[in-house]
Amino acid sequence: MAEFFYSDFGLFCYLKELRKEEFWKFKELLKQEPLKFQLKPIPWPELKKASREDLAKLLDKHYPEKQAWEVTLSLFLQINRSDLWTKAREEISKKLNPYKNHMKKKFRRVWEKETCLQVPDDFYTETTKNEYEELTAAYTADQAGKPVLTVVLLGSQGIGKTTLLRKVMLEWAEGNLWKERFTFIFFVNGCEMNSITETSLLELLSRDWPESSEPIEDIFSQPERILFIMDGFEKLKFDLDLDTNLCNDWRQQRPTQVILSSLLQKKMLPESSLLVALGMTGMRKNFYLLQHPKYIALPGLSERDRKLYFSHFFREKNKVSRAFSFVRDNPSLFVLCHYPLGCWLVCTCMKWQLERGEDLEIAFESTTSLYASFFTSVFKSGLENCPPRQSRARLKSLCTLAAEGIWTDMFVFHPRDLRRNGVSEPDASMWESLRLLQRNSGHFTFIHSCIQEFCAAMFYLLRESQDNPNPAIRTVSQLITAVVTQAPTYLLQMGLFLFGFSTEKTTNMLETSFGFPLSKEIKQEITECLQSLSHYEGNHILVNFHELFNSLFETQEKEFITQVMDFFEDVNIHISNTDDLVVSAFCLKHSQNLQKLHLCIENVFSDDCGSTLNHSQKLSFWRDLCSVFTTSRNFQMLDLDNCSFDEASQAVLCKALAQPVCRLQKLVYNFASSLGNGVEFFKAVLHNTHLKYLNLYGTNLSLAEVGQLCQTLKHPMCNIEQLMLGKCDITDEACKDIASVLVCNQKLKLLSLIENPVMNEGMKVLCDALKHPHCALEKMLLTYCCLTSVACDYISQALLCNKSLSLLDLGSNFLENNGVTSLCEAMKHPSCNLQQLWLAGCYLTPICCKDLSAVLISNEKLKTLKLGDNNIQDAGVKQLCEALKHPNCKLENLGLELCQLTTACCEDLASALTVCKSLRGLNLDWNSLDHDGVLVLCEALSHLDCALQLLGLDKSAFDEETQLLLTAVEEKNPHLIILHQPWDNDEYRIKGVLI
């Protein structure tokens, strides 16, 4: 075929389609065109008199095979015959694609030898008909007319993602799929990527590129005709990172994760298409990398498909009937069989039992028990007549191989790997016949990664004290730590099985089948490890409660779950589907020691969430979860973030919070989709007498809801002391209700109204309330509230009357110098009791510093002044420093970050630092200070009279010499801390942005 197409006859067919003037222009251009390809031109006399047939022969003679076509295709474009160029390129791709033939052979072998299901093609085609239709139509334009370039195949482990991708690859290679859409499809396997540290995309694809094919570089000329199929992301030993230094050059050598991230994020070959398989964990880890994906969810096997599969598997009618009836009579087992892998496990298990004439019996209380049933059936068929000691040795060798593979990211084994772990050739053949291992081109793999993970976990059951440790295989404690912190998916599954093995029921089942004792220490090791993890403070280790809960749920042992849950006082969980709800509810309802719960729940209570549970069942599980508010002895804080409830689930929540035995002190309800009718929620706030802190940041409140809230706050039973209403769409009109609370509620001490359109009108109403003698508010935060200097006149009057207000945040408002002048007049008065004034980002210049300096000298009550993000400049700092040196100045904290300061002000600052005895904190972040300026400051910081304890500077922003200087000052002065953004977290907490 190739010889024909590259022949002069092939060229002649195309030259015939040129019109007379086009043919003459073609010959004219041909005089010089070969030089571009470093070829000698055809002599003009021969060229000039040549007919179309003669020219084809001349081209073939002077430029053998591909060279003639490269020249011809280039000329087609130059004479404006792009139609011939496109036609020829497509024909070449179709007829000259050794790569496609290579893929056909490879994936036909994979399909026939490496698939668990092993069913006829027509069965598979019938059961995946809908998925094929979706895939066939997937890479067309979306509603906006843009082509869909990324398609994600979604489904949990064992649902058939890999099998479908392999079949898709085979269908394309055989010419049955995407014939006109993709010229090349490349299958990228996560397992294989683990063994490659660094590569280029070109080198990666060359591994499977036949020598007889065209140069692989040629394929990149039409990236829109390329599809990358990406599978096995859960098996990657590295995480793909959004912040990775991405690469757009397919020739460039980079770390493998950079190449994959660049493909996923469309940095490299952005016109190419992707088909990516992601499980639930893979989706959580990688969804944010995908560019405008289209999702196709695999539904698993329908009831009809399952029955058909049983017929193919058992063949004999009586066996089919008996097996299917057994499964059909066990609803949970029948549901489990909608997973193709689960269906295969169940059928294989029953097949062995039927062949031995046994009654059908499968444990399916958990994933581990199902695999244990499968494994005991296999064991009986292969090793039942083997002496226990020998059986243990053979099984242990297989499990050691599996565990070593998991810990070293190895899923394809060489014969030497088997020998090193004690698996002999006869044993390998036996495991192959029992369909635990499969052999391919001299290498071995487990029949499915789940089987390897199960065997790897079973290794820990087979350990003995006299064993020589395998350095590649880590301890139970190391595995559990990985599982509940940050682990690859294949470690998660192995950890899940290990939790399953900790139960007495599963261990006893295996011991009875195997005929030899197994380790009883796993539960104790897990318990000790989790108890140890619960004692870590700060950011040392962050427990992933989603994985911990899944692992605990696998045991189904209430006493064990209660014991473990009591280790953890602070839990953070994200519930994104009903499975998560079931698991989380089961674990949390057994917690008696919980103090803080951070919860995000979404996609659960809506009608279109695709759940198998009905609404009343979901509410029942939600009720179980909410019971932790009353069953935990010292439950103090509930943090609900971005939660979506319907009215019924909202009512369940509120009822639980309103219970007299609920001792909740802090309720955070950020970015709530709604408060329902509001009545139940505010009733819960009112009836919980322990509740002191209420944070509704990001939850839009209607005028009516603000009214309901304020009625609650004015009730004598309400004990709220800190109220966070940031970003709640509080308008000037709503401020009337809030002002009424300030007048009559003397328990309320802190009010945050940040990021609301309060406006000057709203501020006037609030200030009238602040002037009231019964107002007891101590802290008021008004960042981004659309205030101007007009509001400062109202505030100034309030400051003269109010006796309780100690902190006022007016940051990020358009106050300007005039507004500050008004504030300063009030603050110089003896009756002003304000201790902290925050004016960050208020459009101030050095002019305002004269008034502020006067306040610092005359007002000994003012302890904190924050002026960050203003155009204070060196001139303004000079005035402030003079005030700091005055003996009457008692300021303790001064914020000057991002104030356009230079080294020129450092002398003034240094002088103030050695004179002012009260100053404890100074923030100079984000200013243009050089080494000389820092040197001046460091000399002052080393002075015996310097009382500063906190300096805001980003050490990493300076050169190495300056960093060493700052570090030396810190070491010399043990009371001094130099920190980047030193006050940010405290400010965010007091505003209600952070908890």
State both tokens at 474.
């880590």
Terminal C-alpha separation, the chain: 70
Closest alpha carbon to 706 in 753, 769, 668? 753
> What pLDDT score was predicted for residue 6?
46
**Per-residue model confidence (pLDDT) at position 21:** 87
Does 920 or 380 have the greater pLDDT score?
920
The string of DSSP codes covering 106-131 is HHHHHHHHS-SS---HHHHHHHTHHH
Q: pLDDT tens, 558-589?
A: 999 999 999 999 999 999 889 999 999 999 99
pLDDT computed for residue 847 by the predictor: 97
Short-list 249, 355, 340, 242, CA closest to 291: 242
Look at the alpha carbons of 84, 90, 95, 97 in this order and tell me if their dihedral is positive or negative: positive
Q: State the pLDDT confidence band at 540, using cuts at 50, 70 and 90.
A: low
Q: What contacts 706, CB < 8 A, 6 or more positions away? A: 728, 730, 734, 737, 738
Q: Which residues pair with 188 in a beta bridge?
A: 230
CA distance 485 to 543: 5
Q: Given the DSSP bridges, would you call strands 254-255 and 198-199 parallel, antiparallel or unpaired?
A: antiparallel
Which pLDDT does position 204 carry in this prediction?
86
**Residue 25: count of CB within 10 angstroms of its CB:** 16
Q: How confident is the model at residue 3 (pLDDT cuts 50, 70, 90)?
A: very low
Contact 529, 559 (CB under 8 A): no
What local confidence, expressed as pLDDT, does residue 599 receive? 96
Regarding predicted confidence, which is higher, 542 or 719? 719
Q: Is the pLDDT assigned to residue 249 strictly greater than 60?
A: yes
Give the model's pLDDT for residue 242: 61
- Per-residue pLDDT band for 2 (boundaries 50, 70, 90) equals very low
Please state which of the ranges 152-161, 530-539, 966-975 shows the lowest mean pLDDT: 530-539
Residue-by-residue DSSP string for 214-228: PPGGGGGG-GGGEEE
pLDDT in tens, 774-809: 999 999 999 999 999 999 999 999 999 999 999 999
Is the pLDDT at 353 greater than 70? The verdict is: yes
Of the candidates 278, 268, 220, the residue with the CA atom closest to the CA atom of residue 248? 268
**Residue 638 pLDDT exceeds 60:** yes
3-state SS record for 361-425 = CCCCCCHHHHHHHHHHHHHHHHHCCCCHHHHHHHHHHHHHHHHHHHHCCCCCECHHHHHHCCCCH
**Given its phi and psi angles, is residue 946 left (phi above 0), alpha (psi -120 to 50 degrees) or beta?**
beta
**What confidence category does residue 356 fall into, taking pLDDT thresholds of 50, 70 and 90?**
confident
DSSP state of 38: T
Distance CA 656, CA 642 (A): 19
Which residues are registered as beta bridge partners of 439? 444
Say if residue 5's pLDDT is above 60: no
DSSP state of 928: B
Does 4 have pLDDT greater than 50? no
State what percent of residues in the chain have pLDDT above 90.
Answer: 56
pLDDT band at 457 (very low <50, low <70, confident <90, very high): very high
Cβ contacts of 823 within 8 Å, gap of 6 or more? 792, 795, 796, 799, 837
Sign of CA dihedral 962, 968, 973, 977: positive
Would you report the helix, strand and coil content of the chain in percent, each value rounded to 5? 50, 10, 40
User: Tell me: the pLDDT tens digits for 98-151?
Assistant: 788 888 888 888 887 777 666 677 778 788 888 888 888 888 766 556 777 888
Is the pLDDT at 972 greater than 70? The verdict is yes
Return phi, psi of residue 187, to 5°. Answer: -100, 115
315 class by beta-carbon count within 10 Å (0-12 exposed, 13-18 middle, 19+ buried): exposed
Instruction: Measure the CA–CA gap between 672 and 670, rounded to whole angstroms.
Output: 5
Task: Kindly give the pairing relationship between strand 893-895 and strand 921-923.
Answer: parallel
For residue 608, count CB atoms less than 10 angstroms from its CB and return exposed for 0-12, middle for 13-18, buried for 19 or more.
Answer: exposed
Band of pLDDT at residue 96, cut at 50, 70 and 90: low
H or E element that contains 349: helix 340-355
Of the listed ranges 465-479, 749-763, 790-804, 892-906, the one predicted with least confidence: 465-479
Please give the structure tokens belonging to residue 841.
């980002």
Residue 537 Cα distances to 533, 638, 983, angstroms? 9, 20, 21
More confident site: 576 or 920: 920
Q: Are 349 and 362 in contact (CB under 8 A)?
A: yes
- Does residue 9 surpass a pLDDT of 80? no
- The whole-chain average pLDDT of the chain stands at 89
Provide the CB-side half-sphere exposure for 401 (13 A, CA): 31
Burial call 828-837: b when 16+ CB within 10 Å, e when fewer: eeeebbbbbb
Per-residue pLDDT of 307-317, as tens digits, reads 998 988 888 99
Q: Which tens digits make up the pLDDT trace of 482-499?
A: 999 876 777 889 999 999
pLDDT of residue 539: 45
SS3 call for 784:
coil
Percent of the chain with pLDDT over 70: 95
Average pLDDT over residues 295-316: 88
Rounded average pLDDT over 738-757 = 97
- Can you tell me the mean pLDDT for 459-463? 94
Report how far residue 353's alpha carbon sits from residue 361's, in angstroms, rounded to the nearest whole number.
Answer: 8
Report how far apart, in Å, the C-alpha atoms of 734 and of each of 667, 704, 920, 971 are: 22, 9, 39, 52
CB-based contact 6:66 (threshold 8 Å): yes
Q: What is the pLDDT of residue 1?
A: 34
Rounded distance between C-alpha atoms, residue 440 and residue 418, angstroms: 14
Q: Lowest-pLDDT range, 8-12, 230-234, 304-308, 339-343?
A: 8-12
Backbone angles phi, psi at 440, to 5 degrees: -150, 115
Q: Contact, 401 vs 418, CB < 8 A? A: yes
Contacts of 566 (CB under 8 A, 6+ apart): 591, 592, 593
User: pLDDT for 722-737, tens place per residue?
Assistant: 999 999 999 999 999 9
Cα separation, 73 vs 81, in Å, equals 9
Whether residue 42 has pLDDT greater than 70: yes
What pLDDT digit, counting tens, does each position of 191-227 carry?
778 778 888 888 888 887 777 566 778 778 888 888 9
What residues form DSSP beta bridges with 893? 864, 921
pLDDT, residue 26, reads 86
Cα–Cα nearest to 358, from 323, 313, 308: 323
Residue 178 exposure: Cα atoms within 13 Å on the Cβ side: 26
Q: What is the pLDDT of residue 885?
A: 96
- Looking at residue 117, its pLDDT comes to 63
Alpha helices per DSSP H over 535-690: 545-555, 558-565, 578-588, 615-626, 628-631, 647-657, 679-687
- Residue 598: enclosing H or E segment and its boundaries? strand 596-601
- At 902, is the secondary structure helix, strand, or coil? strand
Structural contact between residues 595 and 568, judged by C-beta atoms closer than 8 angstroms: no
Q: In Å, how far are 4, 12, 14, 76, 409 from 55, measured between CA atoms?
A: 17, 8, 11, 15, 58
